[in-house]
Homo-oligomer: A and B are copies of this chain.
Amino acid sequence: MTDFQMITAAAGRLSGMSARTPLLNSPFLDEIAGRRLFVKAECLQRTGSFKFRGAWSALSNLPEDVRRKGVIAFSSGNHAQGVALAAKLHGVPAVIVMPHDAPKLKIDNTRDYGAEVVLYDRLTEDRDAIGARIAQERGLTLVRPFDEPLVIAGQGTVGLEIAEQAVESAIAGAEVLVPCGGGGLTSGIALALEAHAGFRVRPCEPEDFDDTGRSLEAGEICTNLPGGVSICDAIVTPQPGKITFPIMKRLCGPGLTVSDGEVLEAMALAFLRLKIAIEPGGAVALAAALFRKDEIAGDAVIAVASGGNADPETFLKAF
């Protein structure tokens, strides 16, 4: 199980490898949010999302002889790029199994980082079977996107930086809003901030994909109903993870939910006011900070902008 020590150890392995992303703010956004609003810009991380942290944390901890054979991952895009770059920097092969309808930019980038991309059809093919076959044939190690203690530890380093940067920005306490798919980033940040009494983490999700928020309310893992549609491709997981959920249940506040329209508006405001590009799934926490102010407590809020990898056509929808 991931603990604070594992997160600081991951931070040590990531030192000089990952960027310490800035905590941005704008008086124009403060006004909309009704309080001081800070954005942790993980879209400026290597590979354009926080996922590089978890991937590097996991790969850098593998025994040399295991790592040398290579790694495999399933991902619609950001974990894919994180694992691909981490493998490239270690000089080991990576196979990434991606749905054929993932954003083109994410597929192209993953290939450009040197990984072998295997596409599958979400509706007719069994991803796990494809992955298991390739992994067995080639002796690859599976790097899970969120239900993996070392990956959670890597994502938790975002929380360590938030704690440091809160001091620098004179933020005594704040709710910390995090885009939540499987819960790796949310649970990692919650663990990193556990000892900071004034900081409470809250998972943010798109409407119809609020599995984590409903699970926290119910006290047990709930799944999303089938048929939901969202532009937030990065975080439309069916349910929280088996490892991440107990952490979130113990440490997180209630979930927050936003609409696709609010996500697009948050993307446009981030571009105009903070000068950063956030992808839809990465913008749900900022959208919640801006448009759910009555559901948030305190005079400061921190929203994690978890990634920026969208196709230009998606950004055009926001303008």
Bound complex: CA A24 to CA B271 (Å): 17
A47 to chain B, nearest CB (A): 9
B274 touches A44 (CB 8 A): yes
Asked whether A43 is an interface residue with its Cβ less than 8 Å from the other chain, the reply is yes
Expressed in whole angstroms, the Cα–Cα distance for A227 and B49 within the complex equals 45
For chain A, residues 37 to 83, give those with C-beta under 8 angstroms from any C-beta of chain B: 41, 43-44, 48
Identify which of residues 254-272 in chain A touch chain B, using a CB-to-CB cut-off of 8 Å.
268, 271-272
| In-complex Cβ contact of A319 among B24, B43, B268, B315 (8 A) | B315
Alpha-carbon separation in the docked complex, A271 to B43 (Å): 11
Assuming A22-B21, A22-B22, A319-B315, is B48 touching A275 (CB within 8 A)? yes
Q: Quickly give the copy total for this chain.
A: 2
Q: Are A272 and B312 in contact (CB under 8 A)?
A: yes
Task: Please tell me if the beta carbons of A275 and B43 are within 8 angstroms of each other in the complex.
Answer: yes
Q: Which residue of B lies closest to A273 (CB)?
A: B48
Alpha-carbon distance between A24 and B319 when the two chains are bound, in angstroms? 25
Contacts of A272 on B, CB cut-off 8 Å? 105, 277, 312
Residues of B within 8 A of A44 (CB): 22, 24, 41, 274-276
Chain B nearest Cβ from A310, distance in angstroms: 9
Interface residues of A in 274-310 (CB under 8 A from B): 274-278, 308
Provide the main secondary structure of the chain A interface. Answer: helix
Q: Given the complex, which residues of B lie within 8 Å of A225, measured CB to CB? A: none
Q: A12-45 CB contact bits vs B (8 Å, 1 = yes)?
A: 0000000101101001100000000000010110
Determine whether A112 belongs to the interface, using a CB cutoff of 8 Å to chain B. Answer: yes
Indicate if A316 sits at the interface (CB-CB under 8 A). yes
A131 CB → nearest B CB, Å: 26
* A316: contacting residue among B43, B48, B319, CB under 8 A: B319
Inter-chain contacts of A24 with B (CB < 8 A): 19, 44
A188 to B109, CA, bound (A): 37
Question: Which residue of chain B has its CB nearest to the CB of A307?
Answer: B275
State how many angstroms separate the Cβ of A190 from the closest Cβ of chain B: 25
Q: Which 9 A-B pairs have the closest CB atoms?
A: A275-B308, A275-B277, A43-B275, A312-B319, A271-B277, A22-B22, A275-B276, A44-B275, A48-B275
Q: A27-B113, A315-B319 known; 18 other A-B pairs, CB under 8 Å?
A: A19-B22, A21-B22, A22-B44, A24-B44, A28-B112, A41-B44, A44-B274, A44-B275, A44-B276, A48-B275, A105-B272, A272-B277, A275-B278, A276-B276, A276-B277, A277-B277, A312-B319, A316-B316
List 11 A–B pairs whose Cβ atoms lie within 8 Å, in order of A's numbering. A22-B44, A28-B109, A41-B44, A43-B275, A44-B276, A48-B275, A105-B272, A271-B315, A272-B312, A275-B308, A316-B316
